[in-house]
Chain A
Amino acid sequence: MATPTHDAGHAAATSAPGMPQLNIEHFPNQIFWLAVTLVVIYFVLSRVALPRIGGILAERAGTITNDIAAAEELKAKALAAEEAYNKALADARTEANRIAAATKAEIQGELAQAIAKADAEIAAKTAESEKAVAEIRAGAAAAVEEVARDTAAALVAALGGKDDAKAVNAAVDTRIKG
């Protein structure tokens, strides 16, 4: 871009009338160099630039896809871990309940056994006591009979009766039984 007024006379002399674009003399030159330029650009693009940029874009897409897949995997792992934790928690709770129930049953059993044993002892003691009471009662009855017989015999003797032991005994027995 020469300044329009620079060396105006010379410029006026050299500038062709009309449009320089229509100067056919210059066409072969421009066409030739255009062809060279286009071929060079085409080879630069198709051999170097486009495969490289395409590769970069594909690589990036791949990286993003891989990262997303890895994130999904990690998410799945986290979910699995949470599930495992919940399961362990539930298991522990069941186990605790089971142990508690077992202990309760054991204690209940021991308690029942102790109660039964105590009951048996009490029953034995009661029976023994009853037996002793019966013995004492029997002993007392026998003593009463003997005392009655002796007393009756003594009374008969004192009253001047004949010491008829047989009759006295019979009389006492009837009296006691009656």
Chain B
Amino acid sequence: MATEEHAAEGSTLVFHPMDQFIVKPLFGEGPVAWYTPTNATLWMGLAIVAVIALLVLSTSKRAIVPGRGQSIAEMAYGFVYKMVEDVTGKDGIKYFPYIMTLFMFIVCANFLGLIPGSFTTTSHIAVTAILGFGVFICVTILGFVKNGTHFLGLFWVSSAPLALRPILAIIELISYFVRPVSHSIRLAGNMMAGHAVLKVFAGFAQVAAIAPIAILGVTAIYGLELLVAFIQAYVFTILTCVYLKDALHPGH
């Protein structure tokens, strides 16, 4: 089939590595309105199902000696709880459910996106930008509510020589406003790049001569992507914790 099409294409390899990211309505054709159930809706819904299965169904027995599923749930809980506690301190614990929500959504969406044929919701800048700017706005408001104008001390490095402070303040200010951009693009970029690379390798598998190498490449990249899926969720979460810590304790 591939070779026939090749002939039809005039021996040009046709890759559409970005087609996997197209948002399509689930039912029928037509324009995508804000409420239309799309493939994004489907895979976000599956992420919810995955979260419920991981954290609710697996713990339904409330066993003192945990089974396999319950161990995973407890591990995820302990992992994020400890992260929040270590990075933001004791007073950050009350924001733990929000951070856990972010972590569980991102990790489930990332791993679901690795199922062949799936749609990776976290590869979309619209999604990660909402996550990233959401964190940024919440944390900034929280910083001003908790600390008032003292929150601006975050930009005024009191440990630096006085002459340097205005320059540092500008740098700090820029870096502060770049945070949500890097925060969201890091996640979307990693997910998109990995999936696109997988698709490119899969495209090369059409050519018989390099198919084994291409398939080996797909396998290797897939393994890497499994790692990236977790690491990006972890990075997003720990950066959220760091920003939260800055909002709660700006003076340092």
Contacts and interface: CB of A to CB of B under 8 A. Distances in A.
B18 A19 contact: yes
Contacts of A11: 14, 16, 19
* Max count, chain B CB within 10 A of own CB: residue among A21, A25, A35: A21
Given A4-B199, A34-B130, A37-B44, A53 B18 contact: no
Contacts of A33: 38, 40-41, 44
Contact of B40 (A30, A45, A49): A30
B73 A49 contact: yes
A21 B127 CA distance: 10
Contacts of B98: 42
A36 B100 CA distance: 16
B110 interface: no
Contact of A8 (B5, B31, B63): B5
Task: Using C-beta atoms within 8 Å of the partner chain, give the interface range for chain A.
Answer: 35 or more
Contacts of A2: 16, 19-20
A42 B34 contact: no
A56 B125 contact: no
Contacts of A20: 18-19, 21-23
B93 to A, nearest CB: 11
Q: What secondary structure prevails in chain A residues at the interface with B?
A: helix
Contacts of A177: none
Contacts of B17: 4
Interface stretch (B52-60, B140-148, B159-167, B171-179): B52-60
Contacts of B241: none
Interface in A40-88: 40-42, 44-46, 48-50, 52-57, 59-60, 63
Interface in B86-114: 96-98, 100-102, 104-105
B8 to A, nearest CB: 7
* Max count, chain B CB within 10 A of own CB: residue among A31, A38, A52: A38
Interface stretch (B115-123, B209-217, B242-250): B115-123
Given A19-B192, A29-B23, 4 more contacts: A4-B16, A11-B16, A15-B19, A34-B127
Interface of A: 1-2, 4-5, 8, 11-12, 14-16, 18-23, 25-38, 40-42, 44-46, 48-50, 52-57, 59-60, 63
Interface of B: 1-2, 5-6, 8-9, 14-23, 31-36, 38, 40-41, 44-45, 47-48, 51-52, 55-56, 59, 62-64, 66, 70, 73-74, 77-78, 96-98, 100-102, 104-105, 116-118, 121, 123-127, 130-131, 188, 192, 199, 202-203, 206
